[in-house]
Structure 1
Amino acid sequence: MSYRDVAVHLTLDPRNEMRTRLAIALARRFGARVSGLYTVPPPNVPYYMGEYIPTELIQKQMDEAQRASVGAREAFLATCRDAGIEHRWLSSDMAPVEALRLGARASDIVIVGQPDPNPSDPASIPYGTDVLPHELALQAGRPVLAVPYAGEFGEIGRNILVAWNGKREAARAVHDAMPLLRSAETVHLLVVAPEKKGRTPLADIAEHLQRHGVRLQSAIVDGNGSGQRKVGQILMAEAQGRGADMMVMGAFGHSRLREMVFGGVTETVLSGMTLPVLLSN
């Protein structure tokens, strides 16, 4: 298994170039093509004001969105040409989750950005991206690489932390990340749970990864009965302490209301991430 098609989400966002460079780095490593999928933001019209907004203003917003897409297209194509990477440009006026859900299924991995977790102006967040990483990971059927809102990530996957709990979603994430895991210099396989007598939760998956030639370290961190939010914080602290440049984890989905009220490992990591996170469901 390898990555031969890498999709990257682009929109009205100054982080387009950083995500494109990361996609190019992955494509160069695996001999892949990069597909830039641009989602055109719709007019910003509150539903309760629709009939009061002049059509001229709506048309102006649509024209500005189209002009922005032309600039993004030219920047993407130039960056890929300069890198000597096979590439293509795709554009959609569908909501980002829907457009990427469809586009990701014809790709091996899709790169998306984390929305600003503390926006000074919530209206400045590109349309539909506020829930993009988590919702897409639950729907795409492909691994989703979520990239933090801040920081530079030109190349990743040399020192990887894998969050393991033995569940289906974690197994899916490990399988989907295998090209990166095999080429990594170090992989930290981590379980956040009290150690039990006898065979540990790590034993079988550690043996499986070693059979694939993964250079593996493994550990069990005693979470002392921590709740899901605390487990997410432990994972992020362990990733930082071990010098990881990315994390691999299963995307565990509940209703948005339940996630907002009770939190969750996935939600905690995605809201406070400081390194790219590969998610699968």
Structure 2
Amino acid sequence: MSYRDIMVHLTLDPRNAERIRYAIGLARRFNARLSGLYTVPPPNVPYYMGEYIPTELIQKQMDEAQKASVTAREAFLATCAGAAVEHRWLSSDLAPVEALRVLARASDVVIVGQPDPSPADPAAIPYGTDVLPQELALQAGRPVLAVPHGGPVGDTARSVLVGWNGKREAARAVHDALPLLRAAETVHLVTIAPEKKGRTPQAEIAELLERHGVRLQAAIVEGNGQKVGMALLAEAKARDAELLVMGAFGHSRLREMVFGGVTETVLGNLDLPVLLSN
């Protein structure tokens, strides 16, 4: 198994260039085609305008959005050509989750950006990207690789940390990440204690990974009262990991807002790329 088609999401976002650079690094490593999918944002009408929306304003924003799309396309094509990476350009007027949910299913992995965790102006967040990584991971049926908002980040992933809790989502993430795990110099298989009954034990998945040629270090660590997501990020930092692999665990949006969750915690405090699967 290898990655043969990698998709990267682009939109009206100053972080496009960083994601393209990261995606090109992965595409070159696996000799994969890189598909750039640009989602054109809809007109953004200020709330204070109420029901009165001048046609000229709508048309101006649509023209600017199309112009930005052309600029992004030229930059993507030029960068990929310069890197000698097989590539193609796609665009959609749908919301990012809707467009990627369908198109990502015909790719091996899709790269998206982490929403700005501390936006100075929430209205400036690119349309539809505020919940993109977690929502897409739950809906696409393919692994989602979220790149931190604060960059730059390396694309080598020589050291990878796998968060293992024995659940279905974690198993899906491990298998989806196999090309990256086999290519890594060291894979840290970490379970935040305690292991629970009824779930695949760490020793079993460790044996499977070793049979796949993964260079593995396994550990069960104490969370010391931290949220599991923060404990995983702390372990990744302590072990100099360049990539985190974990299952995407989803609840209702209301429950996540009230109680939080592992996925929400990780994505809200991300300082390295994370591969999510559900």
Q: Which segments of 5 or more consecutive residues in structure 2 lack a partner in the other structure?
A: none
Cα distance between partner residues in 1 of 2:154 and 2:147: 11
The answer (yes or no) to whether the contact 1:251–1:266 under 8 Å persists in 2 is yes
Q: Paired residue for 2:188?
A: 188
Alignment of 1:255-270 (within 5 A): 255-270=252-267
Q: TM-score, normalised by structure 2?
A: 0.96
Deviations 1:111-144 (A, max 9, x none): 0000111101011000000000000000000000
Q: 1:271 aligns with which of 234, 258, 268?
A: 268
Cα distance between partner residues in 1 of 2:156 and 2:262: 22
Alignment of 1:145-156 (within 5 A): 145-156=145-156
The answer (yes or no) to whether the contact 2:113–2:147 under 8 Å persists in 1 is yes
2:106 counterpart SS class: coil
Displacement, 1:14? 1.0
Q: Paired residue for 2:217?
A: 217
Q: Paired residue for 1:247?
A: 244
The answer (yes or no) to whether the contact 1:185–1:215 under 8 Å persists in 2 is yes
4+ runs of 1 displaced by more than 4 Å? 46-50
Cα distance between partner residues in 1 of 2:146 and 2:51: 37
Q: Paired residue for 1:40?
A: 40
The answer (yes or no) to whether the contact 2:39–2:99 under 8 Å persists in 1 is yes
Return closer, same or farther for 1:99/1:196 CA change in 2, 3 Å cut-off: closer
Q: Paired residue for 1:167?
A: 167
Return closer, same or farther for 1:207/1:7 CA change in 2, 3 Å cut-off: same
Deviations 1:58-87 (A, max 9, x none): 100000001101110000000000000000
Q: TM-score, normalised by structure 1?
A: 0.95
Corresponding position: 1:16 with 2:23: no
Alignment of 1:1-281 (within 5 A): 1-45=1-45, 49=49, 51-194=51-194, 201-223=201-223, 226=225, 230-281=227-278
The answer (yes or no) to whether the contact 1:182–1:215 under 8 Å persists in 2 is yes
Cα distance between partner residues in 1 of 2:46 and 2:205: 49
The answer (yes or no) to whether the contact 1:191–1:201 under 8 Å persists in 2 is no
2:250 counterpart SS class: coil
Cα distance between partner residues in 2 of 1:162 and 1:132: 22
Say which is worse superposed, 53-62 or 148-157, in terms of deviation: 148-157
Cα distance between partner residues in 2 of 1:25 and 1:146: 15
Q: CA RMSD in A?
A: 1.8
Cα distance between partner residues in 2 of 1:245 and 1:50: 47
The answer (yes or no) to whether the contact 2:115–2:149 under 8 Å persists in 1 is yes
2:156 counterpart SS class: coil
The answer (yes or no) to whether the contact 2:6–2:34 under 8 Å persists in 1 is yes
Cα distance between partner residues in 1 of 2:154 and 2:21: 6
Displacement, 1:50? 5.6
Deviations 1:191-211 (A, max 9, x none): 0013689xx931100000000
- Equivalenced residues, count: 277
Letter of the 1:250 counterpart: G
Cα distance between partner residues in 1 of 2:195 and 2:119: 40
1:20 counterpart SS class: helix
